[in-house]
Amino acid sequence: MEIDEKELKKEYAGYKRKVTEIAGEIHDIVEDSIWTDYVKLAGLSVKIEEAMIPVNEMKQKYDFLK
């Protein structure tokens, strides 16, 4: 079975986009509403940690993603 690099790169980009979206939420809180929404940061941090799992797994498995 041949690896379809294009499809894997697309999947990888989707995982990275999810991490970036969560990071954007953190950025918005820090920049705009830290005094009221700081309690959300811990949960968002956990979400980033979880979302990074498939990113790191794919990077370890496929050299062309590094």
Domain boundaries, given as residue ranges, for the chain: 5-65
Q: Could you tell me which residues come within 8 angstroms of residue 18 by beta carbon, excluding any fewer than 6 positions away?
A: 51
pTM of the model: 0.88
Q: Inform me whether the pLDDT recorded for 2 exceeds 70.
A: no
Q: Inform me whether the pLDDT recorded for 1 exceeds 60.
A: no
What does the pLDDT look like over 26-63, one tens digit per residue?
A: 999 999 999 999 999 999 999 999 999 999 999 999 98
DSSP string, 4-55: -HHHHHHHHHHHHHHHHHHHHHHHHIIIIIHHHHGGGHHHHHHHHHHHHHHH
